[in-house]
Amino acid sequence: MNMFKTFALMLGMFFLFIVVGAVFGGTLGMFVCFLLATALNLWAYWNSDKALLRMYGARQVSEQQAPDLVSLVRQLSSRAGLPCPKVYIMDDPQPNAFATGRNPEHSAVCVTRGLLERMNNYQLAGVLAHELGHIKHRDTLIMTVVATTAGALQMLLSFGARRSGMGLIGVILVSLLAPLAAILVQMAISRSREFEADKFGGDLAGRPLWLASALANLEPAAQAVENVTARRNPATAHMFIVNPLSGARIGKLFSTHPPIADRVERLRVQAGVDKFRPGNW
């Protein structure tokens, strides 16, 4: 089903690129965007994960460089029946994480420096188990392709408005069409994916409240600490375990995450406790 959604999304973006080209460049613009969309779809399938990691300045680490982190990923992925993904760290103070890759055999888990500094080992295990859930369910392909194509659509709209000489009409068109990138993200990325990854992560870690505790701590930190790269590339916000744009107005437009309170409540029920308290996990 996820593979079908991915190709449906790529087809939809293909035609949307052609429409934008026709609006701003007539027949020539439509032809150029036809070629651009064809190349982008092929490129996104094979390379969007690498581009995303480069965008965030993530560096791959080995077990010698980050022994505790890589060892934990290896243990959890083995328990999940997955090949061990590559492990990346991005030098960002906001505590957050995401997974990417077109399939489990070509996957990666990326965490921020802020996450490693703020989370204890139990909370970190919960976060990593959640990200492995996205890999296990093969969510990462569509999530990564959406991030690439929606971002490219935004750039195309901005470029077309500047170069078309349409003046006020161009500005109005961009203001109407630009939110389509966010709408496409919300259509393609169901919030149920986060709930499913949470449930899988709780089971995989063995203690759902480890993840609940991590989420409860991540939300206020994401609001207080800005992720500069995510703010510049809001179409990638859905990749993260919590919305990296929570403290920004644009975060609401690009929000694909369920409320943290709902996620914590489901994990509480999964753990079979009457009430979640920060100290009872």
- Indicate whether 150 belongs to any domain: yes
| Residue 43, domain member (yes or no) | yes
Cβ(161)–Cβ(170) below 8 Å = yes
Per DSSP, the three-state class of 101 is: strand
Query: How many structural domains are present in the chain?
Result: 1
* pLDDT tens digit sequence for 149-207: 776 776 776 666 666 555 566 556 655 665 665 565 555 566 788 999 999 999 999 99
How many residues would you count in the chain?
281
Are 241 and 115 contacting, i.e. CB atoms less than 8 angstroms apart?
A: no
Note the pTM of the prediction, 2 decimals: 0.81
Is 278 domain-assigned?
no
Active site residues: 131
* Residue 280 placed within a domain: no
- The residue range of the domain holding 177 is 2-271
Say if CB 231 and CB 250 are below 8 A apart.
yes
Which range (8-12, 227-231, 250-254) has the least confidence?
250-254
What span, in angstroms and rounded, lies between the C-alpha atoms of 121 and 127?
10
Q: How far is CA 98 from the centre of its chain?
A: 6
Whether 281 maps to a domain, the answer reads no
Arithmetic mean of pLDDT, 74-79: 98
**Angle CA(5)–CA(7)–CA(8) in degrees, nearest 5?**
60
Judged by DSSP in three states, 18 sits in helix
Query: 181 in a domain, yes or no?
Result: yes
For the chain, what is the mean pLDDT? 83
For residue 180, being part of any structural domain is answered with yes
